[in-house]
């Protein structure tokens, strides 16, 4: 890697945690294999950043690639990265990579999947038709997170074009991503070290360079695995008006249970915050407590959606 230049050392804050003044900058994460992450590092990340003007990080304890920049630059960077990965394969094609079919797994907030799919699938079909790529969204959220995988399949060029369109969709509805719990497939999930590695919602993008020891995650976590009591954060999510009741529960039983299990303070605005009628839910606590609160809240919302779908199904037959 070129001297004097290296990937960011600090975690990159994804767009779902940014204020409106930062919405012109997109942060897009992808799940990589260990081998692919090594290829990216060996191909000189600094040169990639110089070519595209983006910021690139690779997870400390996991293989999450994070690229930050304007939409066009992020798409170009992913295009170049995918070409690097294709050319690194032992059976790399003798022809242009434009004829190669490959894929990349993007990490997308569950609350923003709808922004990509659109009403009755109109947006996702337009993206596929306009770019030549195919998009496949997973049905389930990743463990201990509120992110889902969207696999983009096609040639490196078509994937790059699709990523640009996906990025535009994410920035248009960035507020819906507030409070996303990022997927961290690191050693903190192992039985002997459960959650002790720091499960903060913006700790997924560290830095890993070949030949150097891995740094410890999140210094705000003590040796006992407990967050420092002063490390409090505030996160907001929008709740559809017809879902507020299921979060509160009868006489407040459900929201009180989530408060107790997570350790976070949770409040719901009495009035809608915009014309959609959605209410703002505010969570205050340590990163780990907020992560658990968000996980429980999203699980409650998903359970309610499934319950309603099951209740409506017999009526459609």
Give CA torsion, residues 284, 18, 139, 281, to 10 deg.
Answer: 30
Rounded Cα distance, 65 and 134, in Å: 21
Rounded Cα distance, 173 and 180, in Å: 13
Provide the 8-state DSSP code for 92. Answer: -
Q: Which pLDDT does position 194 carry in this prediction?
A: 34
DSSP three-state, residue 239? strand
> What integer best gives the mean pLDDT of the chain?
76
Token reading at 29: 């994460």
Q: Which pLDDT does position 70 carry in this prediction?
A: 93
Q: Which pLDDT does position 20 carry in this prediction?
A: 36
Segments of the chain scoring below 70 in pLDDT:
1-23, 60-62, 91-98, 186-230, 312-317
Rounded Cα distance, 18 and 11, in Å: 13
Provide the 8-state DSSP code for 249. Answer: -
Residues 6+ apart with CB under 8 A from 175: 238
**Short-list 96, 83, 90, 93, CA closest to 40:** 83
Give CA torsion, residues 107, 113, 117, 123, to 10 deg.
Answer: -80
Domain spans, the chain: 25-89+99-177, 233-308
Q: At the topology level of CATH, where does 25-89+99-177 sit?
A: TATA-Binding Protein (3.30.310)
CATH of domain 233-308: 3.30.1370.10
- pLDDT tens digits along 165-181: 999 999 998 878 877 88
Q: Which pLDDT does position 94 carry in this prediction?
A: 56
- pLDDT tens digits along 262-315: 888 898 888 887 777 888 888 888 888 888 888 888 888 888 888 888 776 655
Rounded Cα distance, 171 and 177, in Å: 10
Q: Which pLDDT does position 240 carry in this prediction?
A: 85
Share of the chain above pLDDT 90, in %: 28
Rounded Cα distance, 23 and 25, in Å: 5
What are the CA-CA distances from residue 313 to residues 121, 159, 302, 307, 309 (Å)? 21, 36, 16, 10, 6
Residue 283: half-sphere exposure toward Cβ, Cα within 13 Å = 31
Residues facing residue 284 across a β-bridge: 234, 265
CB contact at 8 A, 198 and 182: no
């Amino acid at each position: 890697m070129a001297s004097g230049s290296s990937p960011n050392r600090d975690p990159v804050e994804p767009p779902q945690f940014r204020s409106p003044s930062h919405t012109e900058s997109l942060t897009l994460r992808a799940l990589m294999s260990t081998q692919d992450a090594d290829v990216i590092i060996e191909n000189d990340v600094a040169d990639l950043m110089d070519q595209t003007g983006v910021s690139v990080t690779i997870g400390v304890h996991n293989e999450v690639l994070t690229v930050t920049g304007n939409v066009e630059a992020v798409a170009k960077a992913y295009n170049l990265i995918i070409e690097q990965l294709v050319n690194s394969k032992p059976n790399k094609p003798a022809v242009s990579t434009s004829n190669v079919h490959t894929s990349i797994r993007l990490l997308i907030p569950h609350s923003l999947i709808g922004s990509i799919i659109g009403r009755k699938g109109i947006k996702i079909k337009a993206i596929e038709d306009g770019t030549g790529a195919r998009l496949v969204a997973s049905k389930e959220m990743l463990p201990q997170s509120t992110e889902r995988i969207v696999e983009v399949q096609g040639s490196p060029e078509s994937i790059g074009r699709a990523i640009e369109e996906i990025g535009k969709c994410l920035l248009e509805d960035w507020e819906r991503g507030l409070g996303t719990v990022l997927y961290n497939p690191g050693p903190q999930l192992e039985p002997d070290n459960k959650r002790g590695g720091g499960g903060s919602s913006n700790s997924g993008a560290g830095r890993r360079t070949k030949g150097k020891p891995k740094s410890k995650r999140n210094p705000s976590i003590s040796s006992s695995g407990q967050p420092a009591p002063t490390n409090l954060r505030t996160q907001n999510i929008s709740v559809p008006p017809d879902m507020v009741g299921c979060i509160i529960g009868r006489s407040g039983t459900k929201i009180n249970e989530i408060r107790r299990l997570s350790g976070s303070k949770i409040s719901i605005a009495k009035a809608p915050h915009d014309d959609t009628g959605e209410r703002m839910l505010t969570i205050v606590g340590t990163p780990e407590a907020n992560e658990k609160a968000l996980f429980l809240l999203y699980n409650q919302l998903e359970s309610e959606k499934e319950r309603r779908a099951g209740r409506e199904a017999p009526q459609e037959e």
